C-alpha cells in the first residue's frame, strides 16, 4: 500500500474516532456520515484486500432476465446488426429494362455470443459471432471466451450497440430475415488495399503538362511548399502514400431481396471490400425504416416453419422504380 493510501486511511480513522467521541448526537442526526466513513475505509483499507470483501451498494439487486420473445419497437429503439460475407457483384434488369448493379451478401450462421448490460459493463450492446472456426486456429483467450459463454467457436466477432429493450440472450440465432426487403441499411467494411500510389490515382490530380520542357515529370506532385517563410510543408498536404485498406461505411443501401433458405440478401449498388471479406450491416441511421415493418428485437421462427422450403422475398417496387431514383 502506498504512503498516500496509508495517510488517507489514518486521517479517516482519526476523523471517525474524533467525531464519535466528541458528539454522539451528530452521528444520530446525520447517519450518512457514518456510511461515508465506512465506504472509504472499506474501499481503501488493507483489510478489504485481505479478506476479499468490498462494499457494494447494488449487491441485493437481482440481474435482469433477458428473454427471446417478440416486442414492440419504438422510434428510439435500436436493433442489433449482423455480420455477412461479400459474395460478389451481379446485375439485374428491372421491369423497365434498365440494368441494375446488385451486391450479394451471405449472412453466415450469426448468433449472439455475449450480452453487455449497464449493470455489469456500463453499456448496452450485443456481441455477434459469424461463421465457424476450428479450435487450433484460435488463440487460448478466444477459446476461453467462447467456452465461458457456452457458444460454438466463431470465425468473426462484432459488437453492436443496442437499446435495453433490444437485448437478446446468448445463443440466439439471427438470420437474414432480421431485415425486410425495401428497407435501407448501412454497410461497413474494409476497402480494397491498392498499395503505395501516386497523387493522380490517390487524389485525382490532373498531372503535369505533356510538352513545354516537361521531362519525366508528367505524373509528379509538383511544388509542395513555400520559400523561407514558413520554410516547411504544412500538415495535411495531399501526397503519394498508401491507398485503400481503410474502414468505410456506405449509407442508405437499399435491400432488394432476401433468401431465407440460403441466408442470402441482395442490396442495390456496391459495398466496401473485396469478395470474401466481412461486412457489417445495420439499420440505416438517416433513412430510418418504418418501425412497424421490422421484426423486433429480431425475427423468431415458429416451430412448424421449414426454412429450407421458404421462397425468396422481393421488395415491392411500386409505381416508382427505386433503382432509377437518384439518391
Rounded-to-integer distance, Cα 147 and Cα 128, Å: 15
Q: What is the pTM of this model?
A: 0.75
The DSSP letter of residue 178 is: G
Backbone angles phi, psi at 176, to 5 degrees: -75, -20
**CB proximity list for 137: less than 8 A, separation 6 or greater:** none
Q: Hey, what domains does the chain have and what are their CATH numbers?
A: 3-51 (no CATH), 82-193+244-314 (2.40.30.10)
- 110: nearest Cα among 134, 132, 141: 132
- 313: nearest Cα among 256, 267, 228, 242: 256
Give helix 3-22 / helix 32-44 axis angle, nearest 10°. 150
State the cell numbers at 172: 440466439
- 175: nearest Cα among 274, 78, 107, 268: 107
DSSP string, 266-297: EEES--SS-TT-EEEEEE-SSSPPPTTTS-SS
Total number of residues shown for the chain? 327
Residue by residue, pLDDT tens for the chain (327 residues) are 555 556 555 665 655 555 445 444 444 445 444 444 544 444 444 444 444 445 455 544 566 788 888 999 999 999 999 999 999 888 877 667 778 789 999 999 999 999 999 999 999 999 999 999 999 999 999 999 999 999 999 999 999 999 999 999 999 999 999 999 999 999 999 999 999 999 999 999 999 888 878 888 899 998 898 888 888 999 999 999 999 999 999 999 999 999 999 999 999 988 999 999 999 999 999 999 999 999 999 999 888 888 888 899 999 876 665 555 554
How many CB atoms neighbour CB 233 within 10 A?
12
Give the E-state strand segments of the chain in sequence order: 82-93, 99-106, 110-116, 125-130, 156-161, 173-174, 184-190, 195-197, 241-243, 247-259, 264-268, 278-283, 313-314
What CA–CA distances, in Å, run from 305 to 70, 193, 207, 261, 302? 16, 43, 61, 11, 5
Amino acid at each position: 500500500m502506498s504512503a498516500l493510501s496509508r495517510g488517507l486511511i489514518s486521517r479517516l480513522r482519526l476523523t471517525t474516532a474524533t467525531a464519535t467521541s466528541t458528539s454522539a448526537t451528530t452521528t444520530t442526526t446525520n447517519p450518512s456520515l457514518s456510511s461515508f466513513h465506512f465506504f472509504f475505509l472499506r474501499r481503501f483499507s488493507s483489510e478489504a484486500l485481505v479478506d476479499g470483501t468490498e462494499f457494494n451498494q447494488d449487491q441485493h439487486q437481482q440481474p435482469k432476465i433477458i428473454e427471446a420473445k417478440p416486442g414492440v419497437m419504438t422510434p428510439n429503439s435500436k436493433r442489433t446488426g449482423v455480420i455477412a460475407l461479400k459474395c460478389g457483384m451481379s446485375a439485374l434488369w428491372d421491369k423497365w429494362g434498365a440494368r441494375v448493379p446488385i451486391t450479394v451478401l451471405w449472412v453466415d450462421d450469426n448468433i449472439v455470443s455475449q450480452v453487455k448490460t449497464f449493470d455489469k459493463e456500463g453499456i448496452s450492446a450485443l456481441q455477434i459471432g459469424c461463421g465457424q472456426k476450428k479450435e487450433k486456429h484460435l488463440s487460448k483467450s478466444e477459446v476461453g471466451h467462447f467456452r465461458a459463454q457456452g457458444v460454438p467457436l466463431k470465425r468473426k466477432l462484432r459488437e453492436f450497440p443496442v437499446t435495453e429493450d433490444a437485448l437478446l440472450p446468448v445463443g440466439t440465432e439471427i438470420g437474414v430475415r432480421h431485415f425486410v426487403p425495401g428497407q435501407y441499411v448501412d454497410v461497413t467494411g474494409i476497402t480494397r488495399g491498392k498499395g503505395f500510389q501516386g497523387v493522380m490515382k490517390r487524389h485525382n490530380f490532373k498531372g503535369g503538362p505533356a510538352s513545354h520542357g516537361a521531362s519525366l515529370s508528367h505524373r509528379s506532385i509538383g511544388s509542395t511548399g513555400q520559400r523561407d517563410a514558413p520554410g516547411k510543408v504544412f500538415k495535411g498536404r495531399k501526397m503519394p502514400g498508401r491507398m485503400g485498406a481503410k474502414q468505410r461505411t456506405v449509407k442508405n443501401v437499399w435491400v432488394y431481396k432476401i433468401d431465407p433458405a440460403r441466408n442470402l440478401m441482395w442490396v442495390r449498388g456496391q459495398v466496401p471490400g473485396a469478395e470474401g471479406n466481412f461486412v457489417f450491416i445495420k439499420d440505416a441511421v438517416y433513412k430510418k425504416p418504418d418501425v412497424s415493418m421490422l421484426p423486433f428485437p429480431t425475427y423468431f421462427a415458429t416451430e412448424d416453419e421449414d426454412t429450407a422450403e421458404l421462397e425468396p422475398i422481393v421488395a415491392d417496387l411500386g409505381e416508382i422504380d427505386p433503382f432509377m431514383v437518384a439518391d
